[in-house]
Amino acid sequence: MDHDARWPAGTRRAPAGEAGVLAAFADLAAAGAAGADPVELTTRLCEHVVAVLPVAAAGVMVVDVGGALRVLGSSSTAAHLLDLLQVQDDAGPCRDCCRDGSAVTDVALDLAAEAPWPRFAAAVRAEGFGAVHALPLAARGRTHGALNLFAARGLDAATLAVAQALADATTLALLQADPDEDAVLVARRLHAAVVARTTVQQAVGVLRTRFACTADEALGRLRDDAAATGRALVDVAAEAVRERR
């Protein structure tokens, strides 16, 4: 399976190394300052870590008002489906990360039956990944979600530190740079983001049928349209869903 991710619409693929990491931080900061919606912001985070780090795919999950995990952003269809499996089973690295508020790393998936989450581990291996990590999206001791990293092999401490820094920058942008904001308001904002993600997924389905394309290609069309027209991704998605009716 091809695990290459699209670079965020309207940007160029970042160069490797330090320059690429700095470009990723700059893009996330600019997107947050411009008021990018949470789906777009977390999707950019996922695509950036894939572009500048030895990561094959990434996904973001958040905790809703009832404490359940919800999928928000992803770099590819494979990452999205693996995160949905965590929601279905209520088990996986993101669940553990959100529950404990600490990173989940160094998980051996060589023998799926002996892994902490056998069904999830088997699905990860089936997609061709050999390692998975989960990093918290947290601010001031409160964990709002997690960044899932899928890779061919385990990531070293330096790589995980860069990924965590990118996740931290995205978290502050999601919370509108106010980590002390009332927890209920934060939960409501994340719930609205989850609803927006549902709209985007519906639009992806519409475009897949209309253009006979893959889910990744459909999402690319939506994001290109959003970038070209200066509209939020969720607004473009909602229009596509309305036009179907």
Predicted confidence band of residue 220 (pLDDT cuts 50, 70, 90): confident
Please tell me the predicted confidence (pLDDT) of residue 222.
86
Residues 114, 120 contacting (CB under 8 angstroms): no
What is the pLDDT confidence band of residue 56, given thresholds at 50, 70 and 90? very high
Average pLDDT for 74-92: 92
Considering 9-23, 134-148, 198-212, 231-245, the range whose residues carry the highest mean pLDDT is 134-148
pLDDT at 194: 65
Q: Domain extents for the chain? A: 18-181, 199-244
Instruction: Decide: 131 and 107 in contact? Cβ < 8 Å.
Output: yes
pTM of the model: 0.74
- pLDDT of 36 above 50: yes
Share of the chain above pLDDT 70, in %: 82
| Identity of the amino acid at 61 | M
The pLDDT of residue 242 is: 86
Q: pLDDT > 90: what percent of the chain?
A: 36
Q: Which range among 13-27, 150-164, 214-228 shows the weakest confidence by mean pLDDT?
A: 13-27
Q: What pLDDT is recorded for position 145?
A: 93
The CATH number of domain 18-181 is 3.30.450.40: yes
3-state secondary structure the chain: CCCCCCCCCCCCCCCCCHHHHHHHHHHHHHHHHCCCCHHHHHHHHHHHHHHHCCCCEEEEEEECCCCCEEEEEECCHHHHHHHHHHHHHCCCHHHHHHHHCCCECCCCCCCHHHCCCHHHHHHHHHCCCCEEEEEEEEECCEEEEEEEEEECCCCCHHHHHHHHHHHHHHHHHHCCCCCCCCHHHHHHHHHHHHHHHHHHHHHHHHHHHHHCCCHHHHHHHHHHHHHHHCCCHHHHHHHHHHHHC
pLDDT at residue number 100:
92
Q: Is the pLDDT confidence value at 219 over 60?
A: yes
pLDDT digits 0-9 by tens, 101-160: 999 987 766 655 667 888 999 899 899 998 999 999 998 788 989 999 999 988 999 999
- The least confident of 6-20, 24-38, 199-213, 226-240 is 6-20
Give how far Cα 31 sits from Cα of 92, 214, 239, Å: 30, 26, 22
Distance CA 115, CA 102 (A): 19
pLDDT value, residue 48? 94
184 has pLDDT over 70: no
Q: Which comes out higher in pLDDT, residue 181 or 166?
A: 166
Residue 93 predicted with pLDDT over 60 = yes
Kindly report each contact of residues 149-152 with a partner whose C-beta sits within 8 Å and lies 24 or more positions away, as own/partner: 149/49, 149/53, 149/55, 149/58, 150/3, 150/55, 150/56, 150/57, 150/58, 150/59, 150/78, 150/79, 150/82, 150/124, 151/54, 151/55, 151/56, 152/54, 152/56, 152/128
Q: Work out the pLDDT band at 9, boundaries 50, 70, 90.
A: very low
In degrees rounded to 5, what are phi and psi of residue 122?
Answer: -65, -40
Kindly tell me if the per-residue pLDDT of 4 is higher than 90: no
Q: How far apart are CA 178 and CA 109, in angstroms?
A: 37
Mean pLDDT of the chain: 82
